[in-house]
Amino acid sequence: MKIARFSRVGFILAAAGSAVGLGNIWKFPYITGEYGGGAFVLVYLITVLTIGFSIMIAEMLIGYLGRMDAARSFEKLAPKNAKTWRLAGMMGIWAGILIMTFYSVVIGWILHYIVVAFSTLPSCVKEAEVAFNTLLHEDIMTQIFYHTLSFLFISAILVRGIKAGIEKLNLILMPLLFIIVGGMFLYALTLDGFAQAWHFMFSPDWSKLSSEAFVVAVGHAFFTLSLGMGAILTYSASLPKEVNLVQSSLIVVALDTIIALLAGLMLFTFLYQYGAEPSKGPGLVFISLPATFYAMGTLGNIFAILFFFALAFAGLTSAVSLTEPMVQYLIDKYSITRLKAVMIAGGFFYLVGIVALASNSSSFSQMLTFGSKNFFNWVDYITAAFMLPFGGLLMAIFIGYKIPKEQVFAVLGKNLGRGFEFWYFILRYIAPIALIIVMLNLLGVIKF
Ligand code: TRP
């Protein structure tokens, strides 16, 4: 039984807080840089607006109808195959905690960079690169320190529960985040580099779209919308009954997409303006950007502080949503207190997170590298490229085939209107086919 429920605005901000995260401000710009810009952005946008939006509605519906944690919502709605379907929920719950093992480490880097922004920024890209690489490869203790801070903050929010913890956090941090990103974007608009940034992001060069880029774009669409692992589901289990799921999904998808595009344009503008490279990989916001801020002088210093705060806000509001499904599951399943559940879920990502950050270090990387990737990158890859799309596929099948159409229509019919059949069609055919292609490609069964 849930007692505390989200308010309507609280829910939308919490769901948007989940969606808008490191994926938007850290990952989206650098993968756009790596995979060549325009064509990649277009595939991402199309996926978000069709499959992403459709599955967002479906995932919200599962929580809204189930009213329980991710695993038991499936069980309850499919009593005949409860055992099988609960696995879909369990996979999602685990995906969230696994993502947290590296997500919390990255939040740690960001906290470290807030401190850097307050003291001295690196004066050129070379220096910035050395600083970031030193942190990553040599300085395990600093990383553990900030990873610990991140863990403590996230736990402190989660023990307060849905209303006093998660909702409140999002009510405060999300508006701040929008103001910071919006303000910095407006400044970027006045710079010459903006035209180049626009061109880079919105002029598709199809020759650059490899099949890998395609898979990454679809995977990222899931990651950035927080789909396929029961985060949105867990939140919507605490919704007031009268909420319009379609409208809520639309707002969340729109906010997430807008923030990603604004952050991308702003970042690339700054980089072009000051002659740094867009294709810098995961170090983009930690290497090229700090050096760029330095070049901007005092204003750059202020921007650096604001930017890393915004990034931390984005990360923390997502992190609570990645952990909450496991917390809720433990509470429902074992009837333990919230505090205990948070300690177990948090303790897990905290400890495994230390393994993840150690796998980047020069002392332990050899031990913790398996094949082509180290532990840190494997977790990122397996969750974003496989577990989330697979979870999304299961959700699409669940709502599209398992739950009777009348029951689905009863909730969504009046909100979707004539779009209902269209949505249902995407959910039953387009989304599963696209997701199966992505997964087969990933497994190397088909190549295109
Ligand atoms: N969407 C977040 C981001 O863009 C990450 C995230 C939070 C997430 N909750 C999730 C990803 C649930 C997948 C599933 O950074």
Integer CA distances (angstroms), 417 to 62, 259, 395, in order: 20, 28, 22
- 383 CB less than 6 Å from ligand 1? no
**Minimal CA–CA distance to 102: which of 64, 147, 58?**
147
Rg from Cα positions in the chain: 21
Does residue 149 fall inside a structural domain? yes
Does residue 1 fall inside a structural domain? no
pTM of the model: 0.93
Chain centroid to Cα 25, Å, comes to: 10
- To test the pocket of ligand 1, the residue of 224, 324, 379 to mutate (highest count of ligand atoms within 8 Å of its CB) is 224
- 154 CB less than 6 Å from ligand 1? no
Amino acid identity, position 307: F
Q: Tell me, what CATH number does 244's domain have?
A: 1.10.4160.10
Residue 407 domain boundaries: 8-442
Tokens for 413, please give them. 């019919």
How many structural domains comprise the chain? 1
Total length of the chain: 448
Cα separation of 359 and 136, whole Å?
10
- 252 CB less than 6 Å from ligand 1? no
Does residue 447 fall inside a structural domain? no
Cα separation of 304 and 117, whole Å?
6
- 22 CB less than 6 Å from ligand 1? yes
Amino acid identity, position 319: A
- 288 CB less than 6 Å from ligand 1? no
- To test the pocket of ligand 1, the residue of 223, 229, 235 to mutate (highest count of ligand atoms within 8 Å of its CB) is 223
- What would the DSSP string read from start to end of 192-257? THHHHHHHHHHS--GGG--HHHHHHHHHHHHHHTT-SSSHHHHHHTT--TT--HHHHHHHHHHHHH
The number of the ligand 1 atom at minimal distance from the alpha carbon of 225 is 1
Cα separation of 381 and 219, whole Å?
9
Encode the chain (448 residues) as per-residue pLDDT tens digits. 446 789 999 999 999 999 999 999 999 999 998 888 999 999 999 999 999 999 999 999 999 999 999 999 999 999 999 999 999 999 999 999 999 999 999 999 999 999 999 999 999 989 999 999 999 999 999 999 999 999 999 999 999 999 999 999 999 999 999 999 999 999 999 999 999 999 999 998 888 888 888 888 888 998 999 999 999 999 999 998 888 999 999 999 999 999 999 999 999 999 999 877 766 677 889 998 999 999 999 999 999 999 999 999 999 999 999 999 999 999 999 999 999 999 999 999 999 999 999 999 998 988 899 888 999 989 988 888 789 989 999 999 999 999 999 999 999 999 999 999 999 999 999 999 999 988 888 777 776 6
How remote is the CA of residue 21 from the centroid of ligand 1, in Å?
6
- 392 CB less than 6 Å from ligand 1? no
Does residue 200 fall inside a structural domain? yes
- 104 CB less than 6 Å from ligand 1? no
Atom 11 of ligand 1: nearest residue by CA position: 226
Atom 14 of ligand 1: nearest residue by CA position: 226
- Show the CA angle centred on residue 427, arms to residues 426 and 429, nearest 5°: 65
Does residue 3 fall inside a structural domain? no
Locus of tokens 């990553």: 136
Does residue 2 fall inside a structural domain? no
- What would the DSSP string read from start to end of 274-296? TT--S--GGGTTTTHHHHHHHHT
Tokens for 339, please give them. 């505090």
User: For residue 13, what are the contacts with CB-CB under 8 A and spacing of at least 6?
Assistant: 167, 170, 171, 174
- 209 CB less than 6 Å from ligand 1? no
A 10 A CB-CB count for 366 gives: 9
How remote is the CA of residue 107 from the centroid of ligand 1, in Å?
13
The number of the ligand 1 atom at minimal distance from the alpha carbon of 228 is 14
- 21 CB less than 6 Å from ligand 1? yes
Tokens for 44, please give them. 């991402």
- 16 CB less than 6 Å from ligand 1? no
Cα separation of 156 and 142, whole Å?
21
For the segment 195-246, what is each residue's pLDDT rounded down to a tens digit? Answer: 999 999 999 888 888 888 888 888 899 899 999 999 999 999 999 888 899 9
What is the pLDDT, as a whole number, of residue 372? 86
How remote is the CA of residue 96 from the centroid of ligand 1, in Å?
8
Question: 268 forms bridges with which residues in the sheet?
Answer: none
Q: Are 332 and 72 spatial neighbours (Cβ–Cβ below 8 Å)?
A: yes
- 269 CB less than 6 Å from ligand 1? no
Amino acid identity, position 400: G
Give 421's DSSP letter.
Answer: H
- To test the pocket of ligand 1, the residue of 28, 98, 220, 322 to mutate (highest count of ligand atoms within 8 Å of its CB) is 322
Does residue 284 fall inside a structural domain? yes
The number of the ligand 1 atom at minimal distance from the alpha carbon of 20 is 4
How remote is the CA of residue 109 from the centroid of ligand 1, in Å?
18
Cα separation of 231 and 234, whole Å?
5
The number of the ligand 1 atom at minimal distance from the alpha carbon of 319 is 7
Does residue 243 fall inside a structural domain? yes
- 257 CB less than 6 Å from ligand 1? no
How remote is the CA of residue 318 from the centroid of ligand 1, in Å?
6
How remote is the CA of residue 141 from the centroid of ligand 1, in Å?
27
Cα separation of 165 and 327, whole Å?
13
**Minimal CA–CA distance to 95: which of 237, 226, 220?**
226
